[in-house]
Amino acid sequence: MFMRIDHIGIACRDLEEKIELFSRTFELTVVAREVNEEQGVKEAMLHIADGEGGGSYIQLLEPLSDDSPVGKFLARRGEGVHHVAFGVADVAEAMSTISEKGVRLLDERPRHGSMGSEIAFLHPKDVGGMLTELVQAPKP
Binding site for Co ion (CB under 5 A): 9, 59, 85, 133
Least distance in angstroms from the C-beta of 52 to ligand CMX: 22
Residue 101 interface partner, choices Co ion, ligand CMX, none, CB cut-off 5-8 Å depending on type: none
Give dist(CA 138, CA 140) in Å, integer.
Answer: 6
Residue 113 binds ligand CMX (CB under 6 A): yes
Q: Which of 39, 59, 62, 82 is the catalytic position? A: 59
Among positions 44, 54, 121, 136, the unique one binding ligand CMX when judged by CB under 6 A: 121
For ligand CMX, the binding residues in 53-112 under the rule CB under 6 A are 59, 61, 69-70, 72-73, 76, 82-83, 106
Is 82 considered catalytic here?
A: no
**Pairwise CA distance, residues 73 & 92, whole Å:** 27
Among 66, 46, 68, 44, residue whose Cα is nearest residue 57 = 46
Residues forming a β-bridge with 17: none
Torsion of CA 49, 38, 1, 122, to 10 degrees: 120
Residues known to be catalytic: 7, 43, 59, 83, 133
